[in-house]
Amino acid sequence: MIDLRSDTVTKPTKEMRQAAFDAIVGDDVYIEDPTILELEALAAKKLGKDAAMFVPSGTQGNQIAVLTHCVSGQEVILEADSHIYFYEGGTIAAFAGVQPRTLKGNHGAMNPLEVEAAIRVDDIHQPETGLICLENTHNRAGGAIVPLENMKEIYEIAKKHNLPVHLDGARLFNASVATGISVEEYASYTDTIQFCLSKGLGAPVGSIIAGTKEFIVKARKWRKRLGGGLRQAGIIAAPGLVALNKMVDRLADDHEKAAILASGLGSVKGLEIENKVDTNIVLVNTKEAGIFADQFIEKLKEEEILAVAFGPYTVRFTTHYDVTNQEIKQVLEKISKLI
């Protein structure tokens, strides 16, 4: 089976499994797991933030950020196809009691002027704006890299209005490897950030959230309230250390595989590449071929290829560590005969 559903499907490397076996552990509720503390310190350093905390998932990291930044009744400005809005079960409303104010971005980048116009004025009838959320790379925009300049402009507007900015940087390392801009520079235009160890970086579990020491103290309390107080979790943090230390630069391989896949699929009659393919995601439109995305996915499955539907005629293919160049070639050979 060639699994191109997501970079979340990556399995831990041998080195990660060994690191888990060898991990020195302690009780993380007492902030005593040395492996988690090492991972958190490394992550904070790489991001240029004062503190960081290991969380079991990117969703929990994002939700803890909203819970920590906002109070119930506030409004959060975020992109209309962002993961926090589109894929996190309405949790910002359910748990944080905040309402989303969505803006349609261009390849995932919100227009800074529209963001400023969406910030609420001091009026008894209106909610206050509590947070602005960004996403880089942007998943539903096809792993699009949001330009640093765009992040900078939005951040400056946020500061002018004394508002915090949270970055859903689940795939921020993909952006950094593709542009050569450091994650620290990206993170300098956001107050808090979440990034995934469990996607392209290949760790089996987990994400990091980072920000000021004060933010992390409050965020840790929210993680505990959500039942996320971890015990000897150095066992799952150890693979995260391997991911952060050894799996970043190779993301370029995933981008190369995506470029080869996009070039091949783009030459199949009836298929059209929807996105610019900045990183490891390829969005394919099947309308010209007269086949719905779900039907196409079923046909792919019969050929032992897995992908996901992103819309009625849009199929997402995501490259990652566990898919080889040879397998990408096999996918192209099979699909060219399929349509």
- Judged by the rule CB under 6 A, the positions of this chain that interact with ligand TLP are 6, 8, 57-59, 83, 87, 135, 139, 168, 170, 196, 198, 207
CB of 283 to ligand TLP, least distance (A): 12
CB 265, min distance to ligand TLP, A: 19
Closer CB to ligand TLP, 119 or 308, in the complex: 308
Task: Give me the residue label for tokens 């969505």.
Answer: 102
- List, in order, residues 6 or more apart from 129 with CB less than 8 Å away: 74, 75, 76, 77, 101, 118, 119, 120, 161, 163
CA distance 207 to 8: 12
Helix (H) or strand (E) holding 19: helix 14-22
Please tell me whether residue 242 adopts helix, strand or coil conformation: helix
Considering the complex, state which of residue 28 and residue 135 has its C-beta at the smaller distance from ligand TLP: 135
Return the C-alpha torsion angle 89, 107, 2, 180, nearest 10.
Answer: -110
> How would you classify the pairing of strands 281-285 and 165-168?
unpaired
Nearer Cβ to ligand TLP (207/275):
207
Q: How far is the CB of 150 from ligand TLP (least distance, A)?
A: 16
- Provide the 8-state DSSP code for 267: T
Closer residue to ligand TLP in complex, CB, 74/82: 82
Closest distance to ligand TLP from the beta carbon of 123 (Å) = 33
The Cα 103–Cα 118 span in angstroms is: 9
Q: Which residue is nearest to ligand TLP (CB)?
A: 58
Q: How many CB atoms lie within 10 A of CB 175?
A: 24
Rounded least distance, CB 251 to ligand TLP, Å: 15
Take residue 47 and report the two structure tokens written for it: 């991001």
Nearer to ligand TLP, 8 or 111 (CB): 8
Nearer to ligand TLP among residue 9 and residue 248 (C-beta): 9
CB 128 within 8 A of CB 166: no
Q: How far is the CB of 332 from ligand TLP (least distance, A)?
A: 22
Q: Among residues 233 and 289, whose Cβ is nearest to ligand TLP?
A: 233
* Count of positions (residues) in the chain: 339
The distance of closest approach from Cβ of residue 101 to ligand TLP in the complex, given in angstroms and rounded to an integer, is: 19
